[in-house]
Structure 1
Amino acid sequence: MRWAGLPLIGLLLFSLLWSGISAALESRPLARDGVLDLRGWDFGRQGQLSLQGDWDFWPDRLVGPQEIADGSAPPPDRLAVPGRWTNQTINGRPLTAEGIGTYRLRVLLPPGAPALAMRHNQRFVAWNILINGAPVLRAGHVGPDADSTDSVGQRAIAAIAPGKGELDIIVQVAAFGGYGGMPRALLLGNADSVYGDWQVELALRAAFLSLCLSIGILYLILFLLRPRDRICLVFAVMSGAIALVQVTSNTPLSSELLGDQSGKLLGLLNNTMFPAVWLSCLAGAALLFPGCLRRAMVWPTVAAICAVPVVSLFTLQVPWLLTAAATLGLLLSMATLLTATFIAFRRQIALALPMALAWTVLGLANLALTHRVGFNGVMEAGYCFMLLMQASMLIDHLRHMLDQAQQSNARLAAMNGDLEDQVQDRTRHLTDTVDRLRLAQERLVQSEKLASLGRLVAGVAHEVNTPVGTALTTATHLSTQVRDAEQSMRAGTLTRRQLADFLAETREAASLLTATVERTAAIVQSFKQAMADRTDDRPRRFDLADLARELRPTMETRLTNRPVTAAVEIPPGLLLETYPGALAQVLGQLISNALDHGFPADRSGHIQITASATADDWVEIRLEDDGVGIADAIKPRLFEPFATTGRAAGRTGLGLHMAYTLVTGLLGGSISIIDRPGGGTSALIRLPAADQEAPLPPPPAMPT
């Protein structure tokens, strides 16, 4: 039903076309022998008048008012206006298409003629109009040759004083690069009427231009939003081409907008828009009615349409060629498009009939303009009908998009509800999973701490085992010697010599027992200090060298039965105020990591621990080894939890993560591990230094 009004609009356009033809056939006063008698013409009642008929004409000459007045101008010939030099003759001699010439017409006005106005809209050649000797209208600059002639600038309407009841009109024409003549007659009428029609036409054409641009921009926006709708791009191009036709034609709109531009350039652009419009129609048919265009008809049609702007360059040599080419292109285009719509109609495609009507009206309007029949603005009427069709399709397209958007919004709302439920469910699962992973990580960290403590206890047990074994052996030997001495005393066989030997051995055993017990006490003291540091939750001030000395037994225990040596070069006086237990754990973890990963199997090597103070009040602790280095696969995530290359050996991958967490968190420093030049790794710990001048506090009480 939305297309029901289109036939009515088409019928209206056809009636306007017929009325235009009828108006063209209406009898009007014609000039004879260079004189147009309008003394019986009523400008108020009968309206405006085209100054047609036989004008005086001087070929190949620019004649001025002074030459005519003093009689120095040669006798003129007669030439019909309107007309082009390409199809006109004087005394049987054809006129040249290019050149110069002068027209003259005397207009006899009725008594008491009102204020008059004249308009002329020929843009593509240079002309100059003088009335009663004064310049009134012009297009470009008229010169005697091509070098002094141009078509830049125009004044197309002006008011005229009736004078003494006569108008002496002189039109000088210079045509170079375009056909000469006066293809359009001058329009003379009541000033109010002429200017009123000019303003009305200007307003209508401006509104039409705004309609073209608005529809084109809307279609372009739709195409950018939905690139798959290529028909929107086609209609946008068509609307733009129609808009360019409006601003490059011989119209008031063109005079107002581009009055200072070259008429030749505007003419070339105008001819170029012809194929742009009709190629857009063919592209639209291909997209609206897929498979309905006949290839055998399309290619000749495209060739004929594209030939029009090319043929326009040769109109001077073959004047009729442009009209013939445009007519052929229009007929082929209409035949191709109507054939496609007929096939689409048989396939029951909804837009077939409306588009057939639109293309028919557009084609007939183009033919009317090409052959100069019909009313003024017939071409614009055809374009307007096409734009109304596009506007109807645009509204339908927008309504369809709105329906789709509403359906999509409903689906999205339903999906959003389902998604929220799924997100809540997944969130609960993820929360439970994260809690379980956090618990597992805490357990693994605790197990790593226990493993570290186990290694410490194992080291202490190993260190204590040696002196305790020595003390046990010495005590056993001493007990045996005491028992033998008691037996000798009871038997009375104890000699002075035996007593001296017994006392010497007893003294040596006592010394050995004392040394081994002191050694055991020192080891236990070191273990108790380490335990105190691990359990102390407060930072304290200490010397880094003392901490390294306390950790040495544990380190030596780790090196037992391994072909790896270690050296600790930490000078005294490097004071820190932090958590010694946490730092001991970090250093122990780095040593264990170097042994486990840097020296696999029976690989020999060396570990060195050094420390120094920096100028910016930091203490740097560096642990280097000459082992196998860091595996490339684990370098980017070296400190991440569970990152390890020893998973098969039962390692958790939490050791370095725990060290990183302690250094960067509790200890307030930084840690990095890189490859060491020459092989191996280099771990660097940076910690803030304590005040080096303040005395050390007493050590904390030992746990009992």
Structure 2
Amino acid sequence: IVEPISTMNAENQEFCILVVDDESINLRVIGNHLSLCRYRVKEATSGAQALELMEQGLAADLILLDVMMPQMNGFKVCQILRQTYSANELPIILVTAKSQTTDLIAGFSSGANDYLTKPFSKHELLMRINLHIQLSKSSRVLQENEAHLQNLADHLHSSNTELKKYQTTLEMMVEQRTSKLNEAQKQLFESEKMALLGRLVAGVAHELNTPLGISVTASSALIDKTKKFQVKYLNQQLTKDDMENFLTDSLQATGILLANLDRASQLIDSFKQVAVDQASENTRCFPVLDYVEQVLRTLHPRTKKTEIDIRLSGNSEVKIDAYAGSFSQIISNFVMNSIIHAFPEPAVKTGAQYIHIDIQQCDQSLLLVYSDNGQGMSDQDLERV
């Protein structure tokens, strides 16, 4: 959740913004806007100066980078910075008067987080800066939490190993060590659940960046075209072609907004339900087919890196009263097991590798059939099953 600018002023003092522009008036105007919101501002009049400041150890939290500069343009500066800083570590917003699709593509290809088209309003500038600083801050917090949870899991695993060694000692110590082992295993299970939630949060946050970023870009483009349309209208220069082009662009932009915001909404809904179920120890009644679809949606950050086609079929009316968190863990384990062990090599063509999950009701029982066309198990492994 991105907090309103008015509530962030007190915290803004801890954030440093590097403004890079060869026009002194632009530096002064943007610097005034940021200073009023209590941001710490550092200025550079060229791309070379900006790179020098960063090499000297400037701890910038975000860079406002003008594209059209002599000697070294903003695209080149962005590419050089991305060799050292990731998009999460150092958000970069390109600022330019260019608004063509090719310019947007070039900007994002160079590693920019966002694209701000001149002229822009003070409110839009501050909202975008606030958005990307908070996203970067949240990403760092998630990484720190995940590292902490992993360290805890490693520590508990080490304790578990040590307990197993002592089980071979005196019988009087067996009961005590067994009790400690059970407690350690319980803590390990809870830690693994939290680590899973941490990875789930990080994955969903990463997935949300794409639809939200596209929505922001589409909104900005629509605002720009609306302003140009308004100018022509007020100057009585509006033509039929202008009207038709504006309607076409508006429909296209709103379509992009609706599709991406709907995608973001689905991701959030799936994450909320699965996250609550992971933490809950109570049973509940849920439609199996819909819930499996939600679980698969939360696994999308992992499954999208493969060429595996996941197929879901069955009776959408089938419901069960069970532990939803445990059920989601079973589906997740099945899918991850297939990805890791059944398909060690990437597919030659899309659709050649698949996972099929079928849901049916058999009398008063649930029939869940999970299958894939992976490499299978060796005869030696089958004998031990």
Please report the TM-score for the alignment, with normalisation by the length of structure 1.
0.27
Pick the structure with greater CA Rg: 1
- Indicate the structure with greater helix content: 2
